[in-house]
C-alpha cells in the first residue's frame, strides 16, 4: 500500500458505505473537493447537501437529519467545524444527535496555507463534550476501519483527518478496535504514544533512540484507552506523546490525566505545539521546527532521557 | 377559514395554558413569563389544531415536529403538553427542580416531547430544516414547525438557515417569529433593530405572512396558506405582546425573566379567568 491521505481514504470509504447503508447522508460547506466528500456527492447526489460557507447551519441541519433517522456525516476543515463549538455543544452534544463530524486538514501537516486553515485546537475543544467520541486514524486501512466504525456507532463522533499523504502502518482493518490503542511495537523502558500523522514519525524515531521503545497508536483519542496506558506505564520509565495539535487538550493531556490518576513514577514528555499558533511553510520543515518530525522527536528524547 | 366554535375552543385552551404557565413559574420561583405568554397562542394553534401528532406517542414516526427555538418559552410548551394529556398536570410543579424532566430550557434526551434541545438561541431553525429535509428525503408527508423569538433573529445562524431552506424547496418547513419586540436588555428595536423583518425574509425567498399572533383566526389562516405552498418555506411573523393576558405584565420588559409572586399570580389568574374569554 502506497502512502495516502486519510481524507482520500475517507472519501472512498464513504462511497462504499453509501451503497451499503441508505441512511447515510453527507453535508459539506463548500469544501467537498478538499474534504473528499465530493466523491459521495457524485455517487449519491440526492443524499448530499451542499450547505455553502455556513458551518453552524450545517451542524444544526445535520442534527435535524439525524433526528429523522438518517446518519449524517458533515464535513469541513477541523479548524472551521470545531469553531462552531456552541452549535455542536447544544444541537449535537447535549441533544445526543447521531452526527458524524469530519474535520480534515489536521494540524501543521497542511503546510503552506498557514495557521487559520490548520486544525490545532479542535481536539481540545470537542474533547470536553460528554459523549463525543474522537477518532484520528494514521493510515489508509485504519481510516477505512474508523469511517466504517463511525457510521455504525450510536452517538456523535469527531473524525480528524489529514490533507497530507501518510505511509501505510496497518496490515489489516481488523487491527483497529474502537476505544483500544494499537501497540505497533512492544517495548520496554520508553514509550512513544502518537495519533494520526505523528504515528509514522514516532515509528521512525523509535529506531533512533536506542533501547526497545514501545510505539502505540491512539487512534481513539476519546474515550482514551486507560488500561493500555496503565499497562505500558508499568513497563516504561518514561512516556513521550507526539501530536500534530496543541499539547493543551489533546493526546498529551489525555495521557497525562490517566498517568496522574493511576500513578506513574517516570516522566511524561508532551511533544506537539507548545501552546503556540501555527504558520505557513513546507510541512516537513514545520514538523522539524515544532519538534514532531522523526528526527526532532528522537533528538528531544535523547536530550531528555538518554 | 376556521369556524367560531374552533376558535372559541382554542381560546379556552389558551386561557387554561396561561394559568398553568403562571402557576408553574410561581412555583418554580424563576422562569420567563413574558415570552411564554406571548407565544402560547401560537403553540395552542399548532398542537391543538395544526400538527399531526399523538399526545400519547412522542415517538410516533410520522408525527409533525415543533422545534421551540426560543427555548426560554418552554413553560408554554409544558402547559400545552399537560393540557393535551401528554404529561400529568402535577408534573408542572417540578419545573426547574432538580431531577425533573422539565428543565428550564427543553432537553430532548430527558424529555421525549421536546423535539430539540434549545436555549442557546439561534440554533432551532437549522434543526427544523434538517427535520424537513429528512422528511422530504424519506418521502414522508410530515412537516417541521419552528418557533423563533424575534430577539434570537439577531443570531447569524438564523440567516444561514434563512438562506438555505429555500434552496432545498422546503415547503414542509413552517416557521413562526414571536414578534413581541422584547428581549432581556430592552426593546428589540432599540437593542438591535430587525426592521424591516418581513422584507428580509421575503428577500431570502420565503413565503411571508404577517399576522396578529393572538388572533386564532389569523394564526389558522396563515397556517392554511402555508399548507398551500408548493416550494417555499413559510415564515409567519406574529405580532405579539410580551406578557399577553396579564395587564401588569403586558409590554413590560421587566417581566422577561422574573417569576410572579403568589399574590401576583392570583391577580393574574383572576384577570385571565375573568377576562372576555
C-alpha A255/C-alpha A131 separation (Å) is: 18
C-alpha A119/C-alpha B161 separation (Å) is: 25
Confidence of residue B275 (pLDDT cuts 50, 70, 90): low
How do residues B65-109 score in pLDDT, each as one tens digit?
999 999 999 999 999 999 999 999 999 999 999 999 999 999 999
List the catalytic residue out of A12, A20, A46, A55. A55
Kindly determine whether residue A96 and residue B108, on different chains, have CB atoms separated by under 8 Å. Answer: yes
Residue showing cell 453552524: A56
pLDDT score, position B1: 64
pLDDT above 60: residue B276: no
> Domains of chain A, with CATH numbers?
4-166 (3.40.50.970), 175-305 (3.40.50.920)
Cis peptide before B30 (omega within 30 of 0): no
Q: Which chain B residue shows the shortest CA-CA distance from A50?
A: B164
Q: What's chain A's average pLDDT?
A: 97
Across residues A118-132, what is the average pLDDT? 98
Q: Which residues of B160-185 are buried (b: 16+ CB within 10 A; e: fewer)?
A: bbbebbbebebbbbbbbbbbbbbbee
C-alpha B82/C-alpha B140 separation (Å) is: 28
Residue B106's alpha-carbon distances to A47, B117, B118, B154, in angstroms, are 30, 5, 6, 21
Q: Which of A27, A50, A68 to mutate to test the interface with B (most CBs of B within 10 A)?
A: A68
Within 8 A of B118 by CB-CB distance, chain A residues are 90
What is the model's pTM?
Answer: 0.97
Looking at chain A, the whole-number percentage of residues with pLDDT higher than 70 is: 100
C-alpha A150/C-alpha A17 separation (Å) is: 11
Active site residue A55: yes
pLDDT score, position B274: 86
A81–chain B nearest CA distance, Å: 14
A·B CB contacts under 8 A: 108
pLDDT above 70: residue A159: yes
Within 8 A of B109 by CB-CB distance, chain A residues are 94-96
Whether B141 and chain A come into contact, CB under 8 Å, resolves to no
Kindly determine whether residue B127 and residue A63, on different chains, have CB atoms separated by under 8 Å. Answer: yes
Cell of B241: 405582546
Domain count across chain B = 1
Q: Could you list the residue range(s) of the whole structural domain that residue B59 is in?
A: 4-274
pLDDT score, position B253: 86
Across residues B195-209, what is the average pLDDT? 98
CATH code of B153's domain:
3.40.50.970
For residue B258, give every residue at least 6 positions away whose Cβ sits within 8 Å of its Cβ, in sequence order, or none: B30, B33
How do residues A69-114 score in pLDDT, each as one tens digit?
999 999 999 999 999 999 999 999 999 999 999 999 999 999 999 9
How do residues A280-299 score in pLDDT, each as one tens digit?
999 999 999 999 999 999 99
Across residues A256-271, what is the average pLDDT? 97
pLDDT above 70: residue B270: yes
Which residues from A are below 8 Å from B when comparing CB atoms?
25, 46-47, 49, 51-52, 54, 56-70, 72, 86-87, 89-91, 94-96
Across residues A116-126, what is the average pLDDT? 98
Residue showing cell 401588569: B248
Nearest to B164 by CA among A190, A49, A302, A234: A49
Amino acid at each position: 500500500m502506497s502512502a495516502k491521505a486519510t481524507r482520500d481514504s475517507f472519501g472512498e470509504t464513504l462511497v462504499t458505505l453509501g451503497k451499503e447503508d441508505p441512511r447515510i447522508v453527507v453535508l459539506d460547506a463548500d469544501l467537498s473537493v478538499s474534504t473528499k466528500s465530493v466523491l459521495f456527492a457524485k455517487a449519491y447526489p440526492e443524499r448530499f447537501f451542499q450547505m455553502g460557507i455556513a458551518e453552524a447551519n450545517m451542524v444544526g441541519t445535520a442534527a435535524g437529519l439525524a433526528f429523522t433517522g438518517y446518519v449524517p456525516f458533515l464535513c469541513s476543515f477541523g479548524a472551521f467545524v470545531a469553531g462552531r463549538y456552541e452549535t455542536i455543544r447544544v444541537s449535537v452534544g447535549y441533544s445526543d444527535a447521531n452526527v458524524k463530524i469530519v474535520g480534515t486538514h489536521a494540524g501543521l501537516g497542511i503546510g503552506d496555507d498557514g495557521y487559520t486553515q490548520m486544525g490545532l485546537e479542535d481536539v481540545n475543544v470537542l474533547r470536553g463534550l460528554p459523549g463525543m467520541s474522537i477518532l484520528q486514524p494514521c493510515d489508509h486501512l485504519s481510516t477505512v476501519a474508523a469511517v466504517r466504525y463511525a457510521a455504525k456507532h450510536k452517538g456523535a463522533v469527531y473524525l480528524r483527518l489529514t490533507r497530507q499523504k501518510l505511509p501505510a502502518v496497518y496490515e489489516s482493518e481488523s487491527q483497529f478496535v474502537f476505544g483500544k490503542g494499537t501497540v505497533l511495537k512492544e517495548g520496554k523502558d520508553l514509550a512513544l504514544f502518537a495519533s494520526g500523522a505523528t504515528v509514522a514519525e514516532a515509528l521512525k524515531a523509535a529506531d533512533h533512540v536506542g533501547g526497545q521503545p514501545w510505539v502505540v497508536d491512539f487512534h481513539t483519542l476519546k474515550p482514551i484507552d486507560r488500561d493500555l496506558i496503565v499497562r505500558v506505564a508499568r513497563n516504561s520509565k518514561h512516556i513521550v506523546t507526539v501530536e500534530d495539535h496543541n499539547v493543551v487538550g489533546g493526546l498529551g493531556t489525555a495521557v497525562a490525566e490517566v498517568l496522574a490518576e493511576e500513578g506513574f513514577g517516570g516522566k511524561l514528555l508532551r511533544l506537539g505545539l507548545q501552546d503556540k499558533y501555527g504558520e505557513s511553510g513546507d510541512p516537513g520543515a514545520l514538523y522539524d521546527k515544532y519538534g514532531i518530525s522523526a528526527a526532532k522527536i528522537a533528538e528531544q528524547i535523547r536530550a531528555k532521557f538518554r | 377559514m376556521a369556524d367560531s366554535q374552533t376558535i372559541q375552543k382554542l381560546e379556552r385552551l389558551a386561557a387554561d395554558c396561561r394559568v398553568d404557565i403562571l402557576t408553574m413559574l410561581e412555583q418554580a420561583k424563576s422562569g420567563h413569563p413574558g415570552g411564554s405568554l406571548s407565544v402560547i397562542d401560537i403553540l395552542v394553534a399548532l398542537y391543538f389544531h395544526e400538527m399531526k401528532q399523538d399526545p400519547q406517542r412522542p415517538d410516533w414516526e410520522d408525527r409533525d415536529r415543533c422545534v421551540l427555538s426560543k427555548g426560554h418559552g418552554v413553560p408554554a410548551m409544558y402547559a400545552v403538553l399537560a393540557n393535551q394529556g401528554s404529561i400529568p398536570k402535577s408534573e408542572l410543579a417540578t419545573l426547574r427542580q432538580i431531577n425533573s424532566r422539565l428543565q428550564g430550557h427543553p432537553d430532548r434526551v430527558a424529555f421525549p416531547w421536546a423535539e430539540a434541545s434549545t436555549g442557546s438561541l439561534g440554533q432551532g431553525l437549522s434543526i427544523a430544516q434538517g427535520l424537513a429535509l429528512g422528511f422530504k428525503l424519506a418521502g414522508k408527508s410530515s412537516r417541521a414547525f419552528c418557533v423563533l423569538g424575534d430577539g434570537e433573529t439577531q443570531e447569524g445562524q438564523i440567516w444561514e438557515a434563512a438562506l438555505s431552506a429555500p434552496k432545498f424547496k422546503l415547503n414542509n418547513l413552517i416557521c413562526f417569529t414571536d414578534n413581541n419586540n422584547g428581549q432581556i436588555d430592552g426593546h428589540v428595536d432599540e437593542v438591535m433593530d430587525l426592521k424591516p423583518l418581513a422584507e428580509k425574509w421575503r428577500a431570502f425567498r420565503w413565503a411571508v405572512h404577517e399576522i396578529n399572533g393572538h388572533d386564532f383566526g389569523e394564526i389558522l389562516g396563515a397556517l392554511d396558506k402555508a399548507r398551500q405552498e408548493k416550494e417555499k418555506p413559510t415564515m409567519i411573523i406574529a405580532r405579539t405582546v410580551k406578557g399577553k393576558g396579564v395587564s401588569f405584565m403586558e409590554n413590560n420588559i421587566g417581566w422577561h425573566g422574573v417569576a410572579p409572586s403568589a399574590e401576583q399570580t392570583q391577580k393574574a389568574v383572576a384577570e385571565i379567568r375573568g377576562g372576555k374569554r
